[in-house]
Amino acid sequence: MQRLEEQNVSDFENSIVVPAYTLNQISDNLNDNDSATRENISNVIQDYARNNSDITDIQIVDRNGIIVGTKDVDKSSLIGTKTMKNQIKQSISNGKKITQIYYDKGTGSSYESVSPVSSPDNSSIVGAVYVRASMESVYTGINNIIVIFLTASLVAGLLGAVIAIFISRAITRPIDEMKQQAVRMAEGDYSGQVRVYSPDELGQLAMAVNDLSVKVEEATENSESERRRLDSVLTQMSDGVIATNRLGNITVINEMAQEFLNKDEEEADGKSLVEVLGIDDKITFDELLENPDPMVIETSDGPDEDYDENDDNSLILNADFSLIQRNSGFISGMVCVLHDVTEQQKIDSERRQFVSNVSHELRTPLTSISSYIDALNNGAWKDQKLAPQFLNVTAEETDRMIRMIKDLLSLSRMDQGRSKLDKELVNFNEFFSYILDRFDMMLKKEKADAKEDDTKVVKNYRIKRIFTNKDLWVELDTDKMTQVLDNIMNNAIKYSPDGGVITCRLLETNKHIIISISDEGLGIPRKDIKKVFERFYRVDKARSRKQGGTGLGLSISKEIVEQHKGRIWVNSAEGKGSTFYISLPFDPNETGGEWDEI
């Protein structure tokens, strides 16, 4: 617009420039002092002004500043007067053209030009030509052009904005859909697809997002499947698994490890591994990272309790440690696998104890036999009174060793599963009564023998029977079950006081029969109740050996009862006697023929 204005002003200036021939006429007239000649100047000016309608005023001034001619006749009174315009005087004095543009409220924008007039020989300045022209037409044209330009710009801007909106929507719509799809993918929803509007770069990007969505969904499903598989493996594992971060704080612990350590997941999560394992007083996690060797950990019910191998709730755990390392060698955590070796340790302990007990049990009679044989070899056989006693003791110890070895062989066959049951359907009421009748007969026989031999001592006892009236038919091996009941009855008789009562009960429960045999003996200490069914275990070792026991009777009884899918246990209190219970399965609807007594 500035260039347009400059161009129009320049053109306007060129349009009102006084032609050279007009200046020559004016110069000739000003150089001639004749009054008639000067009058001719006005005619020259009017001819010039007639060709340009924008010129509003023209004045011809001589070298002395006197106005000698004007454009308008109405201003003829100015002719002969001295000009008051400084720019005219200045142009005459310095011989230079002076132009200016100014604005007046009444007339608007005007253009003034003062051109010096030289003499015909160009030797001096003989006057000047003052021209004033209105520039309203110029600025009106410029303003019209500005309005047209602004209007065109506004229309172009509006059209451009509309086009930009359509273009931007065409660009932003697929981008917004891709953004929404990315947000859904971040929230775990991979079901949506981005619409492809065109095969351009945005369309290719949309197809890439759809492909990425499918691949991320597949990767997530695979990851989730692997996680579920890992959770299932960890849950079903018989070993405990614990994983930590690089600081040693627990991040993963499976159910078996929680059970081993008696801690739930909330208690263990975020806690130190060495603290949860209870080895923080022995080793730090940093030391464990440097030396991840396996170790044995013993647990108990409470934090202040010492491990007891006879405590059923105590565990012996073998802990294996493995570092979690990246390809760069950076250690990001540790995995601890806990193996329950309690049973193995118990079996090893029982095996060592069994070997020790067998050695001890056999050494005692062998030492006794060896001593008596040495005494006989040294001449005691000549003593008719001592020799029979020594031989009798030797025979008794030999019989005890034979019984012990037979019992051990029976237990060995049971352990190896080579001992088979020869079951038959038996009326247990009559079967139990038959066994108790034998003990009554034995007591009568011993009393009869004691009457004939005053030196023989007989322990008096009475068997009290409490049986259900209903016939209980049970499928069992009569020989082996007779051995069980004989063992328990013999123990009850041995440990009952003279004249004591042995109470035998036979009851029925839901699909089980319960046999109980109670004595009035010294009872079993509380700490020994769980051990009475162990091999070679005796509450009173001296008394048991004196009475010829091998320490294997209850162990054999337990094995036989368990072979019959039953259970045996004991309740006792010191000084109040003991009660042994046997539970055997049976069918309440089963009936059979009468039991044949053999």
> What string of H, E and C letters represents the secondary structure of 41-59?
HHHHHHHHHHCCCCEEEEE
pLDDT at 504: 94
How far apart are the C-alpha atoms of 570 and 524, rounded to whole Å? 9
Q: Is 159 a residue whose pLDDT tops 90?
A: yes
Tokens of 253: 């612990």
DSSP code at position 412: H
pLDDT at 220: 83
Q: Is 259 a residue whose pLDDT tops 70?
A: yes
How far apart are the C-alpha atoms of 163 and 145, rounded to whole Å? 26
pLDDT at 567: 92
Give the long-range contacts of residues 119-125, CB within 8 A, separation 24 or more: 119/27, 119/31, 120/24, 120/27, 120/28, 120/31, 124/63, 125/63, 125/92, 125/95
pLDDT at 383: 78
Residue 596: which pLDDT band, with cuts at 50, 70 and 90?
very low
578 CA to centre of own chain: 55
Residue 430: which pLDDT band, with cuts at 50, 70 and 90?
very high
Q: Scanning the structure block, which residue is given the tokens 């700490």?
A: 527
How far apart are the C-alpha atoms of 62 and 117, rounded to whole Å? 9
State residue 497 phi and psi, 5-degree precision.
-75, 165
38-47, 297-306, 559-568: the lowest-pLDDT one:
297-306
Q: Is 550 a residue whose pLDDT tops 90?
A: no
pLDDT digits (tens, 9 = 90+) for 230-247: 878 877 777 888 999 988
Rounded (5°) CA angle 230-235-237: 95
Residue 154: which pLDDT band, with cuts at 50, 70 and 90?
very high
Mean pLDDT, residues 485-493 taken together: 89
50-64, 82-96, 126-140: the lowest-pLDDT one:
50-64
279 Cβ neighbours under 8 A, 6+ residues apart: 295, 297
pLDDT digits (tens, 9 = 90+) for 173-191: 888 888 888 888 888 787 7
How far apart are the C-alpha atoms of 565 and 477, rounded to whole Å? 12
pLDDT at 354: 67
Q: For a pLDDT cut of 90, what percent of the chain falls above it? A: 11
* Cβ atoms of residues 321 and 334 within 8 Å: yes
Give the long-range contacts of residues 565-569, CB within 8 A, separation 24 or more: 568/484, 568/533
Q: Is 416 a residue whose pLDDT tops 70?
A: no
* Higher pLDDT among residues 314 and 482, named by residue: 482
Which of 290, 303, 400, 385 has its CA nearest to residue 334? 290
* Higher pLDDT among residues 578 and 137, named by residue: 578
Q: Is 394 a residue whose pLDDT tops 80?
A: yes
Q: Which domains does the chain have, with CATH numbers?
A: 1-141 (3.30.450.20), 421-585 (3.30.565.10)
Q: Is 545 a residue whose pLDDT tops 50?
A: no
* Higher pLDDT among residues 90 and 405, named by residue: 90
Q: Is 271 a residue whose pLDDT tops 50?
A: yes
Sign of CA dihedral 215, 221, 225, 226: positive
pLDDT at 580: 93
pLDDT at 302: 41
Q: Is 595 a residue whose pLDDT tops 60?
A: no
pLDDT at 305: 41
**DSSP string covering 144-212, please?**
HHHHHHHHHHHHHHHHHHHHHHHHHHHHHHHHHHHHHHHHHHHTT----------SSHHHHHHHHHHHH
pLDDT at 569: 92
Distances (CA, A) of 64 to 29, 116, 565: 15, 13, 154
Give the chain's largest Cα–Cα span: 207
Name the average pLDDT for the chain.
Answer: 80
